[in-house]
Amino acid sequence: MPNIQKQIDSLKAEITRLEKEQQRAEQQQKALKEVSAKISTLLKENGVSFESYITHHIKRVSRIVEKAEAGNSTKSASQAAKTRNTRSAKKPRKTTKPTITVKIPAGRYGKLPNQPETIFEVKEKGPRPKVLKAYAEEVGLETFLHQCRMN
C-alpha cells in the first residue's frame, strides 16, 4: 500500500509539473502572437516590408534557424555547425556489380553452339578462351562441362 501511495503522489507531482509547463507554453504563445502583431503594425506604419526587415536581421535569423535545425537533429549544435563549415558533400561512389567468374578446368572442349567444329585446348595454367568462358557463364559450369567436355 505505501508503494502505491508513493506512485500516486509522484504521478500527481508530474501532473502539476506538466500543467505548469503547459501554462508557460500558452503564455509564451500568447506573448509571441502579441509581439508579432506589434512588429507587423510597426512595419506597416513605417512602410517597411517584412522581407526587408528579415534581410536586415539575416545573421540573427540564420543563427536561430541553424540552432533550431541542430536541436531537431540527433547531433549536438557544435558538431552540426562544424561539419557544415568544414566538409563538402560526399559524392556517392559507384559500386561495381560483382561478376561471377567461372573457373574452367583443364582439358579439351568442343561442340560449342556458335563454333561446333572448333576444339579448344585448356591448360592447367594460363588464360581461358573468352568464348568458352562466356558460354560457361551463360549456361552454367556443370551443364557446360557435361555438354562440351571431350575427355
pTM over 0.75: no
- The answer to whether residue 111 sits within a structural domain is yes
Contact 40, 51 (CB under 8 A): no
Residues 3 and 41 in one domain: yes
Residues 63 and 85 in one domain: yes
Domain count, the chain: 3
In the chain, pLDDT over 70 holds for what percent of residues? 89
Q: Is 21 part of any domain?
A: yes
> Is residue 75 predicted with pLDDT exceeding 60?
no
In a domain, 128, yes or no: yes
What's the count of helices (H) and strands (E) in the chain, helices before strands? Answer: 6, 2
Report helix, strand or coil for 31: helix
pLDDT tens per residue, range 3-22:
899 999 999 999 999 999 99
The boundaries of the domain holding residue 64 are 57-89
The residues, ordered by sequence, that sit 6+ positions from 105 with a Cβ below 8 Å of its Cβ are: 122, 145
Q: What is the mean pLDDT of residues 61-86?
A: 69
Examine residue 94 and state whether it is found in any structural domain, yes or no: no
